[in-house]
Amino acid sequence: MILTDPLSIGQLTLLGRVMLAPMAGVTAWPTRLLCREMGCAFAVTEMVSVKSILYSPDMPAVLDLLERGDEEGPLALQLFGAEPSDFSGAIALLNDRGRLAAFDAVDINMGCPAQKITRSGAGSALLLDLPRAARIVAATVRAVESTHPAMPVTVKTRLGWGAGDRSAVRLARMAWDEGAAAVTVHGRTRDQQYSGDADLEGVAAVKAAVSIPVIGNGDVASRADAERMIRETHCDGVMIGRSAIGNPWVFSRVLHSEAVEPTAAERLAMALRHARIQCAWRGGQRGMVELRGQLGWYMKGLPGAATWRASVYGLGCVGALEAFIKTIGTNTNTSTNAGGMNDGRRKEQADYIGGRTSQAGE
């Protein structure tokens, strides 16, 4: 198997096996678009609350999460919640409003470790109640099949709740039995959050337990990482999360051994393009506020990166960002280490995902 081989998830065929993980506050459609252009074969929306869909379907925050860019590739809608009836109800409402058809798959979040999600029984808390998790999968599959029989339902989870827990193995079997078409496994437990290394043996155990595709997630930041994940787990594809923040080039480097690191000028240009797309969609000031955390990562590893990060936080429009880039562009004519993510960057990104956004993801 090579990473550019097609992959079938139910009746959906992907033209590649390298995917973008859902990350709240990060993977809105402008980010997904840039990753798609670099080779991402499949992406997942930021997670959307089924209760919000049911009770506040016209709330701007909900509508924004359901937004899809015109040039995006295959996309799954990720839902989270704790009640099977909420999932079936949300699916029915989205279908009635013509919104479900905009997506290629529905993914169920059973892995988010954030306390604000787990304390309601959702996300990775479902690893503590596998019968409920199975009922959620069954309800979602039935609801989707009733109107979109060719649309697959998938599950994203973690290995378990605490140290040594591999509840994901049983969860994957139950999800498969209830009609899930694929399972993505982050190789950490809920208690680990984003610390330590991904447990590839745990991912391999999930893969060995089911006959549907299993996607490996966790610590994939290079071609070597992806090849190791597939070699040691026999998984069917890889999903990239934190390594893609401010770094859409990670997809081209994973897919193509000859891919080179972006220059400083290329990173600055991509940051500006990202800001322009975001602000055209969300409005100038709002777009910059929402994106400024991600913009900081575009210059990671460059001389003056700390100044860059501090400065972009205070910029209120794309014009100000463009002017600032012009002032620093002549001082950054070096290549970057975009692919060599060290533990320090992983820690900082975990803090960004878990702290600066309203919910965690991946």
What mean pLDDT is reported for the chain?
Answer: 90
From 240, 258, 276, the end of a domain falls on 258
Residues 220 and 235: beta-carbon distance below 8 Å: no
Please name the amino acid found at residue 4.
Answer: T
Residue 112 known to be catalytic: yes
Q: Model pTM?
A: 0.90
Q: Do residues 142 and 11 both lie within one domain?
A: yes
> 349 in a domain, yes or no?
no
Question: Does 91 lie in the same domain as 207?
Answer: yes
Question: Which domain CATH number covers 114?
Answer: 3.20.20.70
Cα distances from 254 to residues 230, 264, 271, in angstroms, run 12, 20, 21
Q: Is residue 334 in a domain?
A: no
109 - beta bridge partners? 156
Among 141-145, 218-222, 313-317, the range scoring the smallest mean pLDDT is: 313-317
| One domain, residues 309 and 251 | no
**Residue 338 Rama label (left phi>0; alpha psi -120 to 50; beta):** alpha
- Domain total in the chain: 2
Residue 274 in any domain: the answer is yes
Residue 242 pLDDT:
94
Quick count: other Cβ atoms within 10 Å of Cβ 73? Answer: 20
pLDDT per position as a tens digit, 240-271:
999 999 999 999 999 998 888 898 889 999 99
Record the tokens describing residue 260, joined without a space: 């080179």
Q: What are phi and psi of 331, to 5 degrees?
A: -105, 10
Same domain, 24 and 98: yes
Do both 312 and 238 map to the same domain? no
Which CATH number characterizes residue 280's domain?
1.10.1200
Of the residues 35, 40, 112, 235, only one is catalytic, namely 112
Question: Looking at the domain assignment, is residue 342 inside a domain?
Answer: no
Q: Is the pLDDT of residue 306 over 90?
A: no
- Domain span holding position 290: 264-329
What phi, psi does 78 have (nearest 5°)?
A: -100, 130
What value, to the nearest 5°, has the Cα angle with vertex 86 and ends 83 and 180?
75
Does residue 167 lie in a domain region? yes
Give the 3-state secondary structure of residue 259.
coil
Angle (CA) 290 295 298, round 5°: 160
Last residue of a domain, one of 258, 289, 311: 258
Q: Tens digit of pLDDT for each residue in 18-42?
A: 999 999 999 999 999 999 999 999 9
Length of the chain, in residues: 362
Longest CA–CA span in the chain (Å) reads 59
Co-location of 35 and 138 in the same domain: yes
